[in-house]
A and B are shown apart, each in its own frame.
Chain A
Amino acid sequence: DAGVIQSPRHEVTEMGQEVTLRCKPISGHNSLFWYRQTMMRGLELLIYFNNNVPIDDSGMPEDRFSAKMPNASFSTLKIQPSEPRDSAVYFCASSLREEEFFGPGTRLTVL
């Protein structure tokens, strides 16, 4: 299995632009998580899905952030409009039980 796949690995954009991060979870996993890692707050859970349904989005910082999971093999995290303070590494993870498997992350830089 290729593990959790995220794209792009790096994204540099200008303030105000829309950013879409993509994730392909491990086949067979029924939960998918989006995290943001910053120096100040470590790993923050943004949203998680179970069986493609959003269960808890209380970590989503603002309405500028949205996430979708149209099917079991794909999810997106969108930021519109992006701001410099959104610069961070965004991780996607999937799981079948407690142990989560993380993707390599997307490093987002908003200028």
Chain B
Amino acid sequence: DQQVKQNSPSLSVQEGRISILNCDYTNSMFDYFLWYKKYPAEGPTFLISISSIKDKNEDGRFTVFLNKSAKHLSLHIVPSQPGDSAVYFCAASGNDYKLSFGAGTTVTVRA
């Protein structure tokens, strides 16, 4: 049973424009959310996170928004750069620190 869902398997965006990645979750016990970025032949690396007590967290070009009532979060990348081309995983955890991952969204930034 997939508790974290990324319904868009891929996203193509022009360099300089905004990339918006979406993620939905079903478990209301999740209270911490993370985004990971993965390049081919490498392990996922942590990108940004947000606690359920916040609705927005910003780090440079990356902003994560959390809508708890809708059980939805999104990652905005502005402006998108060619180096942002990767697979992005959404993840969520409750009080056991165990992460549940989405299936990933492949982002391609076009020059």
Question: Complex Cα distance A41/B2, Å?
Answer: 9
**Could you say which of A31, A45, A93, A104 contacts B41, with CB atoms under 8 Å apart?**
A104
Query: What residues on B are CB-neighbors of A45 within 8 Å?
Result: 98-101
Known: A31-B97, A98-B32. A42 touches B46 (CB 8 A): no
**Could you say which of A42, A56, A93, A99 contacts B103, with CB atoms under 8 Å apart?**
A42
CB <8 Å contact, A102 and B99: no
Q: Interface size bucket, B side?
A: 20 to 34
Query: What residues on B are CB-neighbors of A31 within 8 Å?
Result: 97
CB <8 Å contact, B43 and A98: no
Known: A43-B44, A43-B89, A105-B43. A98 touches B102 (CB 8 A): no
CB <8 Å contact, A99 and B49: yes
> What is the minimal beta-carbon distance from B86 to any residue of chain A, in angstroms?
13
Q: Can you list 9 A-B contacts with CB-CB less than 8 angstroms, sorted by A residue number?
A: A41-B103, A42-B6, A42-B101, A42-B102, A43-B89, A45-B99, A45-B100, A98-B32, A102-B43
Task: Give A residues with C-beta under 8 Å from B.
Answer: 4, 31, 33, 35, 41-45, 48, 55-56, 91, 93, 95, 97-105, 107
